[in-house]
Structure 1
Amino acid sequence: MIFSMDARAALLRSISHGRHRLPFAESVRGGLICAAPAVLAAAWHEPLLCWSAIAAFWTCLCDDSGTRPRQRMTQGLVFAVLGALAAGCAIAAGAVPGLAIALAGVSAWLGALVRCRGALPGLRGLLAATAFAVCAAFPVHGAQAALDYAVFFLGGGLWAIACNLALWQYSADTRVRAATFAWLYALGSYVSKLAQTPDLRHGAAASRAELRTALDAMSAAITAAPGEVAPGCRRWLADAEQAMALLAGIESLLHSRRRAPQPAVERATLDLIAATLKRLADGIDACALDVRRATPPDPATTAARLRPFADYAAHVEHAGHAELARPPVEAEALAADAPRAARAWRDAFMTLSARLATLVAEADSETRGATHRAPASATRTSRPWRDAFAAVTAQVRTQGVFARYAARLALAAMVAVTLARWRSAEQGYWLALTTMFIVQPTFSQTVRVSSLRIGGTMLGAVLASALALLIHSPILLALAILPLATGTLAARAVSYVSYILFLTSHFVLVAHLGTPVGEPWDLAVSRVLNSLAGVAVGVAASFLAWPEWEQHKLAPAASRALACVSDYVQAVLRGYAPDHEARAPEAIEKAEKAEATDCDTRAIAALRRQACLAVDALEAVIAATRLESLSSNHRAAHASVLMLRLRKLVGVVSPLEGADAALDAADRARLAALAQSVSALLRATREERASLRAHLQAEAEAEPAGSARSFFARHIEHEVIEGALAVSMVLPDVLD
């Protein structure tokens, strides 16, 4: 019952708030662009217009709507021309089978190499190469057919470019607000999940990788904005990293609560956690709606959001931290004889929650942060073609990852086109199409994409065939492409699985309109069989042809994560503010001190970001390694423990970024000494680890009786020592 209530609440929240983060306007525009050529194909009985519909869809996929119109037009024209040339050359070379197969390999090699320039240029190169491979698999050839396919592809691309630039557009301010809303929605979703399982008996609520992705998207949108950014969005660009640190600290406290719970106060403590996190999630959602609607925060609403935390702070101050009265957000009275540790834990949890609530609810200040403008270098590149050629040449000369991927894709493309032409099977081009999208830079990525493609192709074939059986009018069937194309473009912001489901249904229906021969179910079976053959070709090429194994990246990824986390932990535990106070002369101005502290804050935030990204990268390598191994991998298991411990270390020390001023001199000195010991242990060799581990354990047991150190200092010291010892235990099994 609890699970169903939580799931229902999550569904209602996704419907009421989550829909606003999807680019529905642009998706509907893309759906209309893709559906129009298909409708004309059905009305005019011109199957080649379906090829224009595919070209229009690919052009929409390649369109970067966040760039300037002139740049969008140039990029779209280049892709349309390259795709038209690829289609025309493939059809013209079809008369000579060997030539068509060889050119398919060359085009795939060139298209894959462009991926070294980034995801979007790589997508354009891959789609142009796919156009060649698909046309090379078509059972048509000749100069006239080549000209027709090239003209129809170019026409579809030009139609998409014109509509993308002429129809409704998102303004820069709307894009910034949408990206900021998406970040706040992800933050609120994370806190909501924590509120649903505050005791963490069901494991971690979610991965922080999604939060980091939303934060990167928001930063990119704000940086690329040509003019001034809305004050609320500008504030969140400055405060997002601090919010991530506070959230990591809250999650660390929740993890520590699992150990040695007190039955007398456990229920009341869980109620406190759930109520507090629920209030935080509601405040984040309200802030997100304010950003989306471009409405300034209401002072009365802000005060109402902060009142429970202010009342709790007043209770704590009045009680002198000796006996805590019942917090206003607590559902049940806490036991009067609650242990001091439990009361200190609640105090620390409410302190971090109050800081996050203040960050969310406070009114915007024009003095906070500078107005962000797009740098000139971000909007134009002086030598784009020369830089691209240099990057591709460097990949080939050094035999980099993308060079090996390009060779692998070229081989797979030639095999796929050969099978499609040799078998002369109906819908044989579907084999080449699947192969081009299946092959990925690493074997584990190929396996993951293959499983999604197989399921999506089967469901898409069934759905498209069912529509063909139910709808006998070709025009109505073409109109059904509109919701499928819209869903495909919108689902890109949700997940790869949903994107594949819509994409396959869309493509199958367009292909059915382009070749309306045979029964729908026969065509569905043919497409599924060809897709399975394409998957087999792609997986075999990834496994046999210069395979790229993630397991070889495990040790380097673990070493980088260890180094980044060690740097961050050492920087936070040692503290930057005391050093600056010691260096600064008495005559220095207060503004200069504040500027120096702000620089240190940004430096620590950068170290935390590097640590989080390195740990996320290690997690991705571990997941990929598991896909590569058919049996249990003990090294990957130890790496998982290492990754979890490193992630917890980041969460444990991150609250100190905002609590450094609350620590006294004794706490600072002890944490600084701990930083040196932990850093030495994490960077030690195998021979040095035993003695350093014993020294660190002795430090942990050297707690004086009746110590008056703050709970923050004692909690962080205990967690850091435990995490460092655990890391040192599993480190040899991963690195050595």
Structure 2
Amino acid sequence: MSVPRRFRFDPNAFLSALARRRPAWMVSFSIEEASLSEGLRAACAATAMLLLGRLLGDMQFSWAAIGAFWTCLADAAGSRRRRFWSMGGFAVLSTLAGAATAFASGAGTLPAALAILVCAALAGLTSLWSAAVYQVAILVATACVVMVDQPHRSLHDALPFAGVYFSGCVFAIVLSFTVWRLHPLAPARYAMRLAYAQLAELARDVSRLVGARSGDAGAWAQHASDKRSQARAALEAARGALIAVPRAKSDGRRTYRELAAALADAESAFGWLIAASDVAQRAAGTMARHAFAARGLDAIARTLARHGDALAAGPVASGTPALRARLQRLAARVAGALGQPLPLRFFDTAPDAPPPGPADEPWLRGSLRSLRNGARKLRDGASLESAGVRHAGRVAVATTAAFLIVRLAGVPYGYWATMATLLVLQPSVGSTWPRSVERAAGSAAGAALAAAIGHAVHTPLALSLTVFPLVCLTMTLRRVSYGLFVLFLTPTFVLVADFATPSNELGHALARFGNNLLGVVLALLATHFLWPQRDAYRLRDSVVAAIRANLAYLDSALPQRAASWEQCETLRRAAGIASGDAERTLRFSRMESVVADAHYRRRVAILALLRGIAGTAGRLRADAPTAQGAPTANPACASRIAAAYADIERLLGGEPTEAPPRTPLPDLPLAQSDALAQLARLRELIAAGGHPRLHKRPRVNRRIAI
């Protein structure tokens, strides 16, 4: 017997509603990125080391558990070679650097501070390279600031300690390449599942707004800013995962072609959802069949989510035509309810499929090539004006200061404060603030959880078994939310510390919380007063790039341009990337200022308008010249748009212009009329920038402030 629709439980909708109602301190939240496999792997590695230590009666094996956990954190997704170098490199470097720091700590406070200074500076300098390298380097520096609290004065004491720690790292590597061995295409499958999950969430959010008949422009602008940016980022991550596939696993491989076709289908569905949301926003107050449209969008969301799960599970070539047909039927129903034809078109092939990865090369040659590229990047960025060099200096000074404060003040478990300072500091002021909030709030909640667990669990065996679910949750949720990651990381470290040196669990939890707060405060002071790198400095350039990219996309969609579908798709992707970057920069720059001034509000309006322009371009593409009854080019409209483009470009260059008269054009299709109105509004917002001086920064160009 079928369950009535109103009693059916949709877990995706439930999780989406839960994400919207999350606590304010949980800045980032993306449940689609939960990875139970990563959690189980790290939990097995860490718990096995604790149980082995319990069996051997050697409490030092808590360091093996920590090493196994950190090694799992250092795992860079991608090819087997990439994963091995990230995990193996971390194991070797953290053991050597950590042992050296422990020796320096045994020699005195000053040598220990110098060791921390060097390790933190080198870790910060790797921000000039890739995110994967920076992640490994920061973890190595973390090992150093933790091991500084284990001073050793002789090689006889240090070797067993380093050996136990290194054994935990090696065990995690062996586990990752045997029991948890990944197929070369597994990262691409996972990334594709995330892309389809984000598309499903985008469709679900449009359905929510349509079902509520929301005419609130702010709600629609927030939807466009958040959901479209997340979908665009997920699609780009999937594209990058496909590019990273080794050529030996991509050339002529059926699975690779399936994933490339799935990426092209995802791009087509994304473009349609943008156009549909634009139509729905304009028809919010007059739509007669809003409930029918909302149900259709929900069905599209479920279809996309199921297809993403199927992509992660195995081959889906036989289901691709059926998927396209179902999505096109649902899209036609939604378009009928919205009152405007919006055909969903798919590529017959995948013209924009990313090229396969580089040809495989011997390990030694590949390693040497990577080292040469790294040296070149370091040479290019070796300047006091470089953001990477400034970040390295900031991290080094702040982390060393934190160490000296806790060492000289005799703060118990002071390495937690040093570690918090190191991990919270980000390259810019705006990106440090949300991480600080999540670190502080997550530590407070985690300390309470640790105290509750410590009150109920007392024996070493029970502590070892309790660590398993905590490590599993920590690793599973680390990409979902940094706040959740810290929440479960806190009791994990508290229980592991209690395993090594049994004492008062409540004292451990409170010490962890207090030291985390101290580290957060020091990180915030450093990011504001030590060579601050402000996102507001590059905000104008990112907004200008977004304006130009979106106008290029709109221009390609106009009837008089007759651009090909492939050209429009390329420009739409570029516009989405540029808008996402500008919105991200704007959010970070907002955290650098207490007051939202007129400049900030104008930028918000500009970026919201650009999202609307992208939606209008999607509607114009739906009225393609090949469609029956499609609008033809209007010479007067084409002339007006060309003049608007030239006027906006002069304003962006700092040349003042007179506002053109607004005379209505008769018999103009709605989408083209909206495009003219949006261009006029964009010109007004840019011209309202007034004086170009936005920030107290030397050598600011004298141009219109955007």
Alignment-derived partner of residue 486 in structure 2: 500
Q: C-alpha distance in 2, partners of 1:678/1:403?
A: 42
In 2, Cα distance between equivalents of 1:254 and 1:626: 30
Q: Deviations over 1:422-469 (max 9, x none)?
A: 122221111211111121111222222111111111221221222122
5 Å matches for 1:153-302? 153-198=165-210, 199-201=213-215, 203-204=219-220, 205=223, 206-225=226-245, 226-227=249-250, 228-230=253-255, 231-258=257-284, 261-262=285-286, 266=287, 268-293=288-313, 294-295=315-316, 296-297=318-319
Q: Is 1:656–2:659 an aligned residue pair?
A: no
Comparing both structures, which one devotes a greater share of its residues to helix?
1
SS at match of 1:76: helix
Q: Identity percentage over the alignment?
A: 24
Contact 2:296 2:333 in 1 (8 A): no
State yes or no: 1:29 paired with 2:79: no
Distance of 2:399 and 2:541 partners within structure 1:
32
The answer to which of 496-505 and 399-408 deviates more is 496-505
- Is residue 2:13 matched to residue 1:10? yes
Partner residue of 2:660? 694
* Superposed CA offset, 1:177-228 (max 9, x none): 3332221121111111211221334613343121112112221222333232
Find the counterpart in structure 1 of residue 86 from structure 2.
75
Q: Specify which of 134, 137, 145 is matched with residue 133 of structure 1.
A: 145
Correspondences of 1:518-667 after superposition (within 5 Å) = 519-573=504-558, 576-577=561-562, 597=564, 601-661=565-625, 662=627, 666-667=632-633
- Contact between 2:264 and 2:353, CA under 8 Å: does it hold in 1? no
- Is 1:376 aligned to 2:359, yes or no? yes
Shift of 1:675: 3.5
Q: Alpha-carbon deviations, 1:349-389, whole Å to 9, x = none? A: xx22x41xx65xxxx96798879643327995651112212
Counterparts of 2:688 and 2:416 in 1: how far apart (Å)? 51
Matches within 5 A, 1:410-489: 410-489=396-475
Hey, what's the Cα distance between the residues in 1 that align with 2:334 and 2:505? 66
Matches within 5 A, 1:674-685: 674-685=640-651
Shift in Å, 1:64? 2.3
Q: CA deviation at 1:541?
A: 1.6
Show structure 1 runs of 5+ residues with no match.
Answer: 314-326, 331-345, 579-596
Larger deviation, residues 22-31 vs 211-220: 22-31
1:676 deviates by 1.1
The alpha carbon displacement at 1:34 in A equals: 1.8
- Encode CA deviations 1:32-52: one digit per residue, 9 max, x unaligned: 112211222344342321122
Q: Contact 1:223/1:374 (CA < 8 Å) preserved in 2?
A: yes
Look up the equivalent residue of 1:44 and give its one-letter code: L
Unaligned runs of 5+ in 2: 1-5, 19-29, 695-703
Q: Give the number of aligned pairs.
A: 657
CA contact 1:652–1:720 (8 Å) conserved in 2:
no
Asked if the contact 1:112–1:406 (Cα under 8 Å) also holds between the matched residues in 2, the reply is yes
- The 5-angstrom pairing of residues 347-366 of structure 1 reads 347-348=339-340, 351-352=341-342, 354-355=343-344, 359=346
Q: What is the match of residue 85 of structure 1?
A: 96
Q: Distance in 1 between matches of 2:642 and 2:167?
A: 66
Question: How has the CA–CA distance of structure 1 residues 232 and 67 changed in structure 2, closer, same or farther, with 3 Å as cutoff?
Answer: closer
Distance 1:151 1:105 in 2: 25
How far does residue 683 in structure 1 lie from its aligned partner after superposition? Answer: 1.2
Relative distance call for 1:521 and 1:482 in structure 2 (3 A) is same
Amino acid across the alignment from 2:14: L
The superposition leaves residues 692-736 of structure 1 with CA deviations (integer Å, 9 ceiling, x where unpaired) of x324x23xx1x22xx2x5444444444444444445445767743
Report deviation, 1:511.
Answer: 2.4
The 8 Å contact of residues 139 and 424 in structure 1, kept in 2 or not, is answered as no
For the Cα contact (< 8 Å) 1:248–1:654, is it kept in 2?
Answer: yes
Alpha carbons 2:559, 2:624 under 8 Å: kept:
no
Change (3 A) 1:520 1:193: same
Q: For 1:436 and 1:12, how far apart are their aligned partners in 2?
A: 32
1:371-420: CA deviation from partner (whole Å, max 9, x where unpaired): 96433279956511122122123322353111101000100121111122
Q: C-alpha distance in 2, partners of 1:88/1:110? A: 17
Name whichever of 674-683 and 409-418 sits farther off: 674-683
Normalization by structure 2: what TM-score? Answer: 0.84
Contact 2:275 2:618 (8 Å CA) reproduced: yes
* Contact 2:631/2:669 (8 A) holds in 1: no
- Judge conservation of contact 1:460–1:504 (CA < 8 Å) in 2: yes
Q: Report the secondary structure of 1:35's partner residue.
A: helix
Greater CA drift, 503-512 or 401-410: 503-512
Distance 1:629 1:688, change over 3 A: closer
CA distance in 1, matches of 2:51, 2:186: 32
**Preserved CA contact (<8 Å) 2:35 2:476:** yes
Contact 2:602 2:685 in 1 (8 A): no
Q: What is the Cα deviation at residue 568 of structure 1?
A: 2.7
Tell whether the 8 Å contact from 1:89 to 1:146 is kept in structure 2 after alignment. no
* Structure 1 position 59 matched with structure 2 position 85: no
Letter in 1 for 2:484: S
2:388 pairs with one of 393, 396, 402: 402
Q: Which residue of 2 aligns with 1:582?
A: none
User: Aligned partners of 2:603 and 2:643: how far apart in 1?
Assistant: 23
d(CA) in 2 for partners of 1:664, 1:13: 38
Mapping of residues 720-731 of structure 1, within 5 Å: 720-729=679-688
The amino acid of 2:169's aligned partner reads G
Contact 1:573/1:674, CA 8 A, preserved across alignment: no
Q: Which protein shows a greater Rg?
A: 1
Between stretches 117-126 and 59-68, larger displacement belongs to: 59-68
TM-score, length of structure 1 as denominator length? 0.81
Shift of the 101–165 alpha-carbon distance from structure 1 to 2, 3 Å rule, reads same
Residue by residue over 1:268-299, the C-alpha shift from the partner in whole angstroms, topping out at 9 and shown as x without a partner, is 24234323323322332343354345452297
Tell me the amino acid that sits aligned with residue 645 of structure 2.
S
Deviation of 1:491 after TM superposition, in Å, equals 1.2
Q: Secondary structure at the match of 2:182?
A: coil
Q: Provide the rounded CA distance (Å) in 2 between the counterparts of 1:141 and 1:575.
A: 79
Shift of 1:526: 1.7
